[in-house]
């Protein structure tokens, strides 16, 4: 598992310190900001911390040499999802204090769930130590190439997986059609700008000359 | 290597997708009679696609088997899906005009959904399977909620969407587990990589169960059926007709192929699940429908019951099972086309019939319609001279050949129970008093032609059964020889 390029670039030169230093730096910030997401009083702040956490995780992906995942994480999660959250939080007037009212009531349930998860994790940990059975027993191991993984993905995405790529495009088209169908409505009484008519306005039809008599005025 | 243009892989799918986009644009830029022109064009496009699918049948895609496959089983189900879509567009156009739901996107969404079904029936890979399912169901979610001003329609759309997304998630998790433990997403490769095993390991079984749960949701087999009655009732009736006729067929084809192709050697692992789904569906389909007052809910439960019978063919895992399923699905589609054509054209006092009691005394006012309903109901109940009997007959024969005697006996028992509510409709039509003497009909000439053909096939099946039965046995022989 040593092939990713960036890891190689740092590692063989013996600069292990820089690698571990950046790993611990980014992961500490990621974990801390994740904690802040759930503990911040102001919900706008917690969304901002969420974005910080995403950015740091994408930096961790870069360290692993998975730069495509890092880009996707920034584009999709930071660019779309988090901004959407931010919009929702700022536009809707949700009283988060009220949402937290039942916290103590649900605490035992949450603790139970956490305990079960912890138990499961520890079981996996110990059973792996005991029986040495790995998940990818039958898998053909991924072949690491010398290119960046963006290039690798691009190479197969538009050749081998071309049909599937087109199909996913069609799915997105259907999603677009669907959202337009379900939300677009023809409202009556909307004053629309019709540029064609505006351009075609003629002085003959729209401007009327009137003689105004002195001291009498005229009706418009 | 010389290639004819018709020999291109997925040529029908390609034509369908390009055509659907073209029809979308035509609908967008025409101003007069948009709905009728787009729906007529969609019907023409689907007919062309069906013909191309049939012409393309003898081409082997040895190189492309990674994602898609061709066999006569797939060919049959693809053509059936196309026919079902054509029928459901034709029979519903008058209804849409009547309730003034003239949105040209409806036929376009039906086209995209049909495209998804063609893809998922022909898929030979977990990825193409998932994409097909998503394309199909995304269009269906929108169709369920298409009537925006109706609260019920919106509710059914949301319900369908949430539960469908959940089931897709479960299915995807199963796919990832199978990929993790076999190292491949291709059906053939999964088959070869697990064929060396004596028993499936836990991870693969988990993946298998999760995928089966997802698929059972799509066919609405019993523990995962909850959405069906609500969605059927809430969606506009024409959309319900499409839901009942087409997507079930594709999901049934997929669940058959998924169980028998990659996991064919390990039928012991999944046959219990299928038997459970089958018994549960037959039970609920026959018991729960008794208490219904709405025709659409009744038909929803009836379709759940039919799925139970179709799954018997899968549980018996033999050639007779495939043959029975092919015959049953074909007859199921015909019966649903017939009954929905009638529901979509029968009105009382400017409202379409919704309740079963609305039909009381129908025979005195509209004798032709009531005889059509009666024939369809008798066929659904599986009463001998009609086609539905033969569907059940061949399914039960398959169960007996596989020595699943209890399954066949339970099937017959539940079929007797379900005969109650089918016959009750006939009783209401023929022996109850005519309450409202002014039934109106709103049926186009094309729709009445479709009704005529489906009723003709249901009644005349007994005279020429070999036509369909031969297709069924050919398909089943080919299925087990490959």
Asked if B382 contacts B450 with a C-beta cutoff of 8 angstroms, the reply is no
Assigned token pair, B356: 């079963």
Residue B11 has pLDDT above 90, yes or no: no
The arithmetic mean of pLDDT across residues B196-215, rounded, is: 87
pLDDT reported for residue A3: 43
The arithmetic mean of pLDDT across residues B475-482, rounded, is: 81
**pLDDT bucket at A157, cuts 50 / 70 / 90:** confident
Residue A138 has pLDDT above 50, yes or no: no
Neighbours of A204 (CB within 10 A): 7
Is the Cβ pair B132, A182 closer than 8 Å?
Answer: no
According to DSSP, the residues that pair with A93 across neighbouring strands are none
Q: Is the CB of A181 inside 8 Å of chain B's CB atoms? A: yes
- Supply angle C-alpha B395, B396, B402, rounded to 5: 95
Question: What is the reported pTM?
Answer: 0.85
Interface of B with A (CB under 8 A): 9-10, 17, 21, 24, 66-68, 103, 105, 108-109, 112, 115, 119, 127-128, 131-132, 134-135, 138-139, 141-142, 145-146, 148, 157, 179-184, 193-194, 203
pLDDT in tens, A170-179: 999 999 999 9
According to DSSP, the residues that pair with B123 across neighbouring strands are B68
For B194, the closest chain A residue by CA position comes to: A138
SS3 state of residue B63: coil
Interface of A with B in 86-145 (CB under 8 A): 135-140
pLDDT in tens, A55-89: 999 999 988 888 889 999 999 888 888 888 888 87
* Domain locations along chain A: 1-143, 145-185
Q: Report the side by side order of strands in the sheet with B351-352.
A: B351-352, B346-348, B439-441
In angstroms, the Cα distances linking B46 to A14, B36, B136, B245, B312 are: 64, 15, 16, 16, 31
H-helix or E-strand spanning residue B80: helix B72-98
For B18, the closest chain A residue by CA position comes to: A170
Tell me which chain A residues have a C-beta less than 8 angstroms from the C-beta of B115: 170
Q: How many distinct structural domains can be found in chain B?
A: 1
CA-based torsion, B142, B143, B144, B145: positive or negative: positive
For A177, the closest chain B residue by CA position comes to: B105
Distance in angstroms (rounded) separating the CA atoms of residues B392 and B328: 7
Assigned token pair, B380: 């659904």
Is the Cβ pair A135, B180 closer than 8 Å?
Answer: yes
The arithmetic mean of pLDDT across residues B77-88, rounded, is: 94
Assigned token pair, B84: 């079902």
Q: Is the CB of A170 inside 8 Å of chain B's CB atoms? A: yes
- Distance in Å, alpha carbon of B161 to nearest chain A alpha carbon: 12
pLDDT reported for residue B442: 82
Tell me which chain A residues have a C-beta less than 8 angstroms from the C-beta of B68: 163
Distance in angstroms (rounded) separating the CA atoms of residues A178 and A123: 45
Range with the lowest mean pLDDT among B41-50, B57-66, B409-418?
Answer: B57-66
Q: Is the CB of A160 inside 8 Å of chain B's CB atoms? A: yes
Q: Is the CB of A173 inside 8 Å of chain B's CB atoms? A: yes
Residue B62 has pLDDT above 50, yes or no: no
Distance in angstroms (rounded) separating the CA atoms of residues B304 and B321: 19
Q: Which residues contact B477 (CB under 8 A, 6 or more apart)?
A: B319
A144, A169, A160, A168: which is closest to B186 by C-alpha?
A160
Distance in angstroms (rounded) separating the CA atoms of residues B442 and B386: 27
The DSSP code for A217 is: B
The arithmetic mean of pLDDT across residues B403-429, rounded, is: 91
- Distance in Å, alpha carbon of A64 to nearest chain B alpha carbon: 21
Is the Cβ pair A167, B181 closer than 8 Å?
Answer: no
More confident residue, A160 or B294: B294
In terms of C-beta density within 10 A (0-12 exposed, 13-18 middle, 19 or more buried), how is residue B354 classed? middle
For A139, the closest chain B residue by CA position comes to: B183
**pLDDT bucket at B222, cuts 50 / 70 / 90:** confident
In a domain, B476, yes or no: yes
Does domain A1-143 fall under CATH 1.20.120? My reply is yes
In a domain, B192, yes or no: no
More confident residue, B276 or B60: B276
B297, B243, B238, B240: which is closest to B100 by C-alpha?
B238
Is the Cβ pair A182, B148 closer than 8 Å?
Answer: yes
Assigned token pair, A48: 């901002």
Find which of B31, B67, B178 to mutate to test the A interface (most A CBs within 10 Å of its CB): B67
* Residue ranges making up the domain that contains B316: 284-482
Residue B61 has pLDDT above 70, yes or no: no
User: Complex ipTM, two decimals?
Assistant: 0.90
pLDDT reported for residue A132: 53
CA B21 to mean position of chain CA atoms: 24
* Pick from B10, B138, B179: CB nearest A178: B138
pLDDT reported for residue A96: 63
């Amino acid at each position: 598992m040593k092939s990713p390029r960036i890891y190689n670039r740092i590692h063989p030169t013996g600069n292990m310190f820089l690698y571990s230093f950046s790993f611990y730096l980014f992961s500490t910030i990621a974990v801390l900001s994740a904690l802040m997401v759930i503990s911040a009083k102001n919900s706008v702040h917690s969304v901002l911390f969420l974005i910080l956490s995403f950015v740091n995780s994408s930096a961790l992906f870069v360290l692993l040499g998975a730069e495509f995942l890092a880009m996707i994480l920034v584009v999709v999660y930071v660019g779309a999802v988090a901004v959407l959250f931010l919009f929702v939080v700022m536009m809707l007037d949700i009283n988060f204090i009220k949402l937290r009212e039942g916290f103590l009531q649900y605490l035992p349930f949450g603790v139970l769930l956490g305990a079960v998860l912890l138990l499961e994790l520890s079981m996996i940990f110990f059973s792996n130590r005991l029986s040495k059975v790995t998940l990818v027993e039958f898998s053909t191991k991924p072949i690491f190439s010398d290119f960046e993984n963006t290039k690798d993905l691009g190479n197969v995405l538009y050749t081998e997986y071309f049909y599937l790529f087109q199909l996913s495009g069609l799915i997105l088209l259907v999603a677009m059609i669907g959202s337009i169908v379900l939300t677009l409505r023809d409202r009556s009484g909307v004053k629309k700008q019709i540029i064609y008519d505006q351009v075609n306005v003629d002085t003959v039809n729209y401007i009327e000359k009137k003689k105004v008599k002195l001291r009498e005025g005229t009706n418009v | 290597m010389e290639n004819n243009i018709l020999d291109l892989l997925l040529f029908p799918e390609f034509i369908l997708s390009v055509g659907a986009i073209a029809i979308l644009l035509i609908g967008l830029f025409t101003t007069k009679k948009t709905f009728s022109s787009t729906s007529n064009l969609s019907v023409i496009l689907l007919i062309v696609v069906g013909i191309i699918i049939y012409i393309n049948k003898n081409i082997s895609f040895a190189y492309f088997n990674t994602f898609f496959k061709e066999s006569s089983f797939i060919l049959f189900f693809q053509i059936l899906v196309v026919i079902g879509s054509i029928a459901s567009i034709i029979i519903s156009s008058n209804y849409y005009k009547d309730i003034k739901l003239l949105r040209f996107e409806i036929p376009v969404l039906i086209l995209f959904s049909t495209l998804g079904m063609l893809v998922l029936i022909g898929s030979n890979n977990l990825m193409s399977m998932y994409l097909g399912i998503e394309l199909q169901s995304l269009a269906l979610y929108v169709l369920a909620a298409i009537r925006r001003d109706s609260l019920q329609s919106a509710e059914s759309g949301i319900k369908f969407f949430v539960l469908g997304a959940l089931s897709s998630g479960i299915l995807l998790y199963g796919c990832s587990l199978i990929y993790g433990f076999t190292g491949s997403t291709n059906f053939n490769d999964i088959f070869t990589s697990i064929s060396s095993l004596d028993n499936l390991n836990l991870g693969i079984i988990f993946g298998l169960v999760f995928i089966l749960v997802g698929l059972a949701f799509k066919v609405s087999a019993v523990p995962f059926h909850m959405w069906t009655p609500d969605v059927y009732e809430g969606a506009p009736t024409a959309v319900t007709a499409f839901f009942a006729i087409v997507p079930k067929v594709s999901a049934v084809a997929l669940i058959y192929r998924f169980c028998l192709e990659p996991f064919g050697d390990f039928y012991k692992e999944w046959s219990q699940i299928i038997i459970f789904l089958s018994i549960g569906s037959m039970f609920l389909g026959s018991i729960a429908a008794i208490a219904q007052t709405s025709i659409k809910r009744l038909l929803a439960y009836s379709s759940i019951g039919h799925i139970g019978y179709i799954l018997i063919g899968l549980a018996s895992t033999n050639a007779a099972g495939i043959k029975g399923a092919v015959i049953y699905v074909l007859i199921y589609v015909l019966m649903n086309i017939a009954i929905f054509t009638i529901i979509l054209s029968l009105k009382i006092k400017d409202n379409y019939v919704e309740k079963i009691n609305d039909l009381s005394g129908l025979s005195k006012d509209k004798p032709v319609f009531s005889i059509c309903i009666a024939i369809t109901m008798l066929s659904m109940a599986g009463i001998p001279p009609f086609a539905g009997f033969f569907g059940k007959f061949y399914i039960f024969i398959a169960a007996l050949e596989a020595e699943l005697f209890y399954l066949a006996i339970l099937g017959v028992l539940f079929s007797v129970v379900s005969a109650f509510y089918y016959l009750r409709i006939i009783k209401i039509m023929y022996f109850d008093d005519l309450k409202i003497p002014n039934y109106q009909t709103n049926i186009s000439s094309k729709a009445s032609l479709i009704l005529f053909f489906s009723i003709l096939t249901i009644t005349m099946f007994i005279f020429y059964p070999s036509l369909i039965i031969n297709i069924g046995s050919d398909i089943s022989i080919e299925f087990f020889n490959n």
